[in-house]
Amino acid sequence: MNGADVVVQSLVNAGVTVMFAYPGGFSMPLHQALTRFRDKIRCILPRQEQGGGFAAQGYARATGKLGVCMTTSGPGATNIVTPIADAKMDGVPLLIITGQVPVSAIGSDAFQETPMVEVCRGITKHHYLVTNVNDLARIMQEAIFVATSGRPGPVLVDIPKDVQTTPVVPVFDQPMQLPGYNGELPKAKLADVEKVAEAIQNAKKPIILAGGGIIAADASKELFKLVEKTGIPITTTFTALSAFPREHRLSLGMLGMHGNAFTNHAVHDCDLFLALGTRFSDRVTGKVSEFIKHAKVIHVDADPSEINKVKAANIPIISDVKYFLTELNKIVTPPKADLAPWIGKIDEWIAKMPLKYNEKSPYILPQAAIRELWRATKDKDVIICTGVGQHQMWTAQFYGFSKPRTFLSSGGLGTMGFGLPAAMGAKVACPEKIVVDIDGDGSFQMNIQEMGTCVCEKIPVKVMLLNNQHLGMVMQWEDRFHASNRAHTYLGPYDKPEAFGKGEGDFPSVRYPDFITIAKGYGWDALNVSKKEDLPAAIATMLKSEKPFLLDVQVPYHEHVLPFTPPGATVFDMIRE
């Protein structure tokens, strides 16, 4: 074998069947090797490296399996830096293989040379520059193991071209060299589990918070059992929205900056806060000193660095959250106090501060479009992806997720352009499911080129585009904090820019670009809808199509995502109107 064959055989040995790769001068041997293994690995050609990285993430997030992407050196490799950082923030198992200039040329500023290990040192879980072909089989084994074990994350393997072409007799089962790392998840001590069970028994106003760690650990069933067994209301972080059924009687939906007002009030008033697999993001806590200040805090996380990092815990537990919940469910009993008054108080907040929008608006409001999509798909096998912006938060608020790994979105990094390629990867991973990207016109255009991949690779994703001609979330902050002064957030043609500078009007007189023409140019089916009465039929048409489909929903630009707690503020500073 040569080194390139070793790389591909290592992927096959690890059970990889799909990867996303864009070729170039210093990764050509790897692509040639892939043609020799085409019966084992499907190699999908994205239209840009970032699209390939997010498609690999979509594959990984939808399945829990390793996502694999590959690029050439230099600009190809730097194009994939954003998906790497995104995967690190959200704990996604990702293997990134990059070509590199020959070993002898490293450090000479050779054509398309970039020191990728140095570039990515702070945004990877681990990283390798392979300079000896004899190390390659071992390094590939280590990289895959590190990416998928412990708290998952991205691992970079940078491979010079001469290492790819050098002959070698590989040893695929040689021992790994990972001093200080065994990949095993820590397990809670029985005494700590008993402390939690006792705290639950003594609570009068408890709340459970489920974080993204619940999804990563595949612990949704154990979480559901705990809620049913104890009767404790539950809220989730943004990344954990699909960890618990939103329609459940004890579900409070999302907390935090754009979380429900009633949820945030319940969290503020609780006396026991059981946080499971969460890192206490600033989007969750707001002003840290005021967050859950009246509660006994139990924090369970597999990553020791997260414990006491943001919020001090009364009972800190370093553990695999699935193991912890399994053990807790064996001994836990409901609180001794009657929870009816507590749940009744929450019901009062729900009645007083419901999540709402103007249902009498003459226009299709984004919230209404998402709710209509939910009604049309709630009984189907569906995965929802989003880009980043207002549409992302409205999806979190108004789409009632019920099954784990059915909501894929960029949480920690907040990367525009995530939605379409992630949907592409999810559809490849789960071809039997309907995959819909709910996107905004700003975010969608960041990786619009992947429409070509969807057609050529026969990946029939759906895109419901909430088209308001603006960078909506930035525009909302302009309205709230900058007197509605438009500072380069309007995406349409400037036929009357002064009107948009003043925040007047509902729709531009000209829509730009013409997404229907673009979609059809790529070979997609497409439909434009602007009337409320036409929306249900348009969504039905999109869902029935067997081809990639773009539904361009024209929405007014002046809608805000509410409620909204400004950064560093508290529940009492929340903007609701």
Q: What distances in angstroms separate CA 481 from CA 468, 485, 500, one per listed residue? A: 20, 9, 16
Tokens of 246: 């939103």
Query: Choosing from 111, 172, 481, 572, which is the catalytic residue?
Result: 111
Cα-based angle 409, 67, 91 (whole degrees, multiple of 5): 50
Active-site residue, from 1, 28, 112, 176: 112
308 near 288, Cβ under 8 Å?
A: no
* CA–CA dist 351, 260 (Å, integer): 12
Give the DSSP letter of residue 575: B
b/e per residue 252-282 (b: at least 16 CB within 10 A) = bbbbbbbbbbbbbbbbbbbbbbbbbbbbbbe
426 Cβ partners below 8 Å, 6+ apart? Answer: 58, 59, 61, 62, 383, 385, 408, 433, 435
Q: Give the length of the chain.
A: 577
Q: Residue 279 phi/psi, 5° resolution?
A: -110, 10
Q: Which tokens go with 433?
A: 């499911």
Q: How far apart are CA 108 and CA 208, in angstroms?
A: 55
Selection from 73, 71, 67 nearest residue 154 by Cα = 67
Are residues 324 and 188 in contact, defined by beta-carbon separation less than 8 angstroms?
A: yes
What are the strands, taking DSSP E only, across 242-314?
251-254, 272-276, 296-301
> Is residue 473 among the annotated active site residues?
yes
Catalytic-residue membership of 111:
yes
- Calpha distance 460→171 (Å, rounded): 40
Residue of 49, 222, 372, 478 marked catalytic: 49
Q: Give the amino acid at 566.
A: P
Distance, in Å, from the CA atom of 200 to the CA atom of 276, rounded to the nearest integer, reads 14
- SS3 (DSSP) at 123: helix
**Of the residues 125, 161, 205, 427, which is catalytic?**
161
What are phi and psi for residue 550, nearest 5 degrees? Answer: -110, 120
Whether the Cβ atoms of residue 26 and residue 4 lie closer than 8 Å to each other: no
113 vs 408: CA distance, rounded Å: 33
Bridge partners (DSSP) listed for residue 529? 553
Query: Does 390 participate in catalysis according to the annotation?
Result: no
Handedness of CA 561, 566, 570, 575 (dihedral sign): negative
* Bridge partners (DSSP) listed for residue 99: 159
- How buried is residue 39: exposed, middle or buried, by Cβ count under 10 Å (0-12/13-18/19+)? exposed
| CA distance linking residue 44 with residue 56, whole number of Å | 10
β-pair partners for 68: 95
* Catalytic residue, candidates 140, 424, 446, 473: 473
Catalytic residues: 49, 111-112, 161, 473
